Amino acid sequence: MKIKAISSLILITYISPAFSATDIQFWHGLSGQAAEVIGDLTKEFNKSQNEYKVTAIRKGNYQETMIAGIAAYRSKKQPDIIQIYEVGTATMINAKGATIPISKLMTDNKIEFDTKDIILPVRSYYSSGDQLLSFPFNSSAPIMYYNKNLFKKAGLDVNNPPKTWDELFLYAEKIKKSNPKKCGFTTTWPAWIQLENFSAWHNVSYASQSNGMEGNSPTLKFNSQTHIKHWENIQKAYKEGYFTYFGRTTEAELSFTTEKCGIILDSTGSYGKVKEANIDFAVSQLPYYDKVTGAPQNTIIGGASLWVFNGISKEKQAGAAKFILFLSRPEIMSKWHQLSGYLPVTQTSFDHSKKQGFYEKNPGFTVAISELTNKAPSENSKGLRIIGLPNIRNIVEANFESMLSEKMTAQKALDDAVEKGNDIIKKAGR
């Protein structure tokens, strides 16, 4: 009995490190295949070492995750790592002391982390000077997906997708006429794609101070004649039936994956879902108005980044740093990119996928990268860093819907959103 007891004691002592692993709470707003992939990557990290155990928890959509994180921080029950969508970046930056910059986190934990490996448009957006503030884990850009079967039935050339908005409206009308039960085109995220990225892609200002990137008191300017004309065209397409609206976020995706719509403007982050639907599709660059000087310029990133909260223990900080280092490894970032459709945000992960021959088999994956790097970013296309942007988006989306239902003209919808949005910025600056 004594020998057995000693053996048990030795066994307990031997396996004790597994039970003392530091728990790292990671809140995110992903769903579907992307959530499954991040769950798998988290398990892979946990198996790779025994000091830390990361628990990935979905807290709802992006906005719900951000709201939950802010509330948790105020009650001192914050997670260790939180995923915040890109429109929340200015809010996180202005919450002084709430988070630990990634550059500092890595230095404090003596971890070599090459921030210059992150591609420039993405690194610039999430940095202050040379300091990386958050890790751009799932960056995305809007692209155009089109259904080859519906193109063929409408007599359209599948190898010649629409390049301009005039062509897109014409193609959508033909798809609708070929089968009245189908929709010509649709869009997800209208505020992000049809206003924020529309502005950058056409090199027109969304707001002053380089869209808030070079100041904290920008004035919204997204009611120019270029913006108004575009919204009027969408309103006309909706009225005539070849544009269909499904909702403010990803509601329209189902219409494309079930072959109801011929064309959808959507995030690269949806690529995994579309591919999983097993439909015959292709992707192409966003359309543009060829009469707008300078178009197409470059798109701006969407998606989200990972922030590490302040106020957590040194052990948790070390665990968060090692988890982020793990996610940034070329083979891990490549896997994430290939399975989810999100961008390979580091040059080494892009090179890794290229070496694997991934882009030869999946040429559509380079479309978003070519959009982001189409031209050197201008003051209108570096990105948006405007405090209160989530609330401004809500107003834009509400007014977009009012325009479609003809309660507002396009000009009234945009003028009203600019006026109310500027009030939000002024109040936030007090």
Domain assignments of the chain as residue spans, ordered by start: 22-140+302-356, 142-299+377-429
Q: Which residue has the higher pLDDT, 9 or 423?
A: 423
- What pLDDT, on the 0 to 100 scale, is given for residue 271? 86
In angstroms, the CA 185 to CA 182 distance is 9
> Does the pLDDT at position 383 exceed 80?
yes
Q: What is the chain's length? A: 430
Q: What is the pLDDT of residue 207?
A: 97
> Which amino acid, one-letter code, is at 98?
A
Fold agreement between 22-140+302-356 and 142-299+377-429: yes
Report the distance separating Cα 4 and Cα 6, nearest Å. 5
Give how far Cα 123 sits from Cα of 22, 145, 302, Å: 30, 27, 13
Distance CA 380, CA 105 (A): 31
Model's pTM, two decimal places?
0.85
The pLDDT, as a whole number, for residue 19 is: 61
Question: Residues with Cβ < 8 Å from 115, sequence gap 6 or more?
Answer: 102, 103, 123, 127, 130, 132
Cis before residue 377, ω within 30 degrees of 0?
no
Q: The tokens of 330 are what? A: 């070329």
Average model confidence (pLDDT) for the chain? 92
Class of domain 142-299+377-429: alpha beta
Please compute, for residue 34, the number of CA atoms within 13 A of its CA located in the half-sphere on the CB side: 25
pLDDT tens, position by position, 283-315: 999 999 999 999 999 999 889 999 999 999 999
Percent of the chain with pLDDT over 70: 95
Is residue 104 within 8 A of residue 97, CB to CB? The reply is no
Q: Model confidence over 95-109: pLDDT tens digits?
A: 889 999 999 999 999
- As a whole number of angstroms, the distance between CA 207 and CA 215 comes to 11
Tell me how far apart the alpha carbons of residues 210 and 213 are, in angstroms, rounded to a whole number: 5
Q: Which CATH superfamily is domain 22-140+302-356 in?
A: Periplasmic binding protein-like II (3.40.190.10)
Instruction: Determine the Cα–Cα distance for residues 94 and 101; give it in Å rounded to an integer.
Output: 13
